[in-house]
Amino acid sequence: MKTHSKIKIIFLLPSLVAGGAERVISFVAQSIDKDKFDTILLVAGFEKDSAYDVSNVNVVYLNKPRILTALPSIIKYIIKQKPEVVVSSISHVNTAMSMISPLFKNTKFIGREATVLSKRKNEEKSRKWSPAYFLPNGFKNLDMLICQSQDMAEDMVSNFEVPKDKVCVINNPISKLPPVKQKTDFGEIKKYITVGRLTEVKGHIRILEMLSMLKTPFEYTIIGDGSLKDKIFEKAKELKLDSSITHIPFTNKVNDYIAKNDMFLQGSYVEGFPNALLESCVVGTPVIAFNAPGGTKEIVENGINGFLVDNKDEFLKRLNENRTWNPKKVSDSVYQKFNKERILQQYETLFFNVLNKSA
């Protein structure tokens, strides 16, 4: 065991583009106790693509377009830095680290998974460097695999041959705490919002189908962009909803938009850990979400911060309700479980446990 007092950790990401994994890993790298940990954020991609302002951590860009082409540089960097821990996130990066981990006997490799892999729709048909080439046992050489939800952990054990003692659950943190909104009552026109990538797995089309059945006026804001955009808005036009929909491809003021709406709608068929839904609860906007595989059920508390539904009929029933919500209670329900201090402590404890050290 090394004698220096701080534990050196390299956090590895493919890029710092806007995304849940990028936000969480960069946040942890910046925020864990610097009296205990010496952290480096290693980014395979390009600085010009960064969507986050990162401080309080040394950031190194390898300026490579893909993890595969960055792998030789990653290996050289690990040899040079001699970290005690390497933390990676996203399936194909975790697979790559599992492959090279036998080269580094004095380094522990920890992966962080971002989705319920066995349930995920085939969204990566064009990706050449795919975890599908290596699974089901592509994670076998990792010392620990962090899952964002219990469903994800069970999926890793049952379907991807990851030993149960090498899997742990750490939810995503509330990294920023915006003001909780004051307004509680629905107006004459109900205002709904959905935030997320415009892809099939996010279920925008089934939300549109249910909104088309409403007898009362509404406004629906969709924030996000993606490959299914044209199909989604063709469906909206077909259902004669286009005049009720506002589309915002990208904004830095997501929380402001969520706070101005009455309900957050999530139509996803699978979710790793739905950050946008969590952000909605944080600002006090209740949610309606399908009980999809993943972390949604760990956030939603029926009647407290929204509703978890099993089918379209139940979703439509909740859309038609005129319940009064307490924004502070909605926010408190998630803050108690997912505040950053609690989640950071779980990460720090994990690092000590993997190294068999005491805090």
CA atoms of 347 and 359, how far apart (whole Å): 12
Spatial contact of 294 and 270, defined as CB atoms under 8 Å apart: yes
Confidence (pLDDT) at 218: 97
CA dihedral 55→57→63→66, nearest 10 degrees, is -110
Confidence (pLDDT) at 35: 97
Between vectors from CA 186 to CA 185 and to CA 189, what angle results, nearest 5°?
155
Confidence (pLDDT) at 136: 57
What single letter denotes the amino acid at residue 139?
Answer: F
Confidence (pLDDT) at 252: 86
Q: Which of left, alpha, beta for 14 (phi over 0: left; psi -120 to 50: alpha)? A: alpha
- From 3.40.50.920, 3.10.690.10, 3.40.50.2000, 1.25.40.10, which CATH number describes the 7-173+339-354 domain? 3.40.50.2000
The CATH T-level fold of domain 190-337 is Rossmann fold (3.40.50)
208 class by beta-carbon count within 10 Å (0-12 exposed, 13-18 middle, 19+ buried): buried
Closest CA to 142 of 105, 169, 108, 171: 108
Instruction: Supply the DSSP symbol for 167.
Output: E
Confidence (pLDDT) at 169: 98
What single letter denotes the amino acid at residue 233?
Answer: F
Instruction: Supply the DSSP symbol for 254.
Output: H
User: Where exactly are the structural domains of the chain?
Assistant: 7-173+339-354, 190-337
Peptide linkage before 249 cis (omega within 30 of 0):
no
Chunked into runs of 10 residues, the chain (359 residues) has average pLDDT values of 77 91 95 97 94 91 96 98 97 94 97 87 44 63 96 93 95 95 83 96 98 96 97 98 96 94 97 95 98 97 98 97 95 97 98 83
CA atoms of 212 and 141, how far apart (whole Å): 49
Confidence (pLDDT) at 81: 98
What single letter denotes the amino acid at residue 268?
Answer: S
Confidence (pLDDT) at 2: 47
CA atoms of 310 and 52, how far apart (whole Å): 36
What single letter denotes the amino acid at residue 137?
Answer: N
Neighbours of 312 (CB within 10 A): 15
Spatial contact of 99 and 141, defined as CB atoms under 8 Å apart: yes
DSSP per residue, 263-291: EEEE--S-BSS-HHHHHHHHHT--EEEE-
DSSP-assigned beta bridge partners for residue 335: none
Confidence (pLDDT) at 357: 67
pTM of the model: 0.91
Confidence (pLDDT) at 122: 43
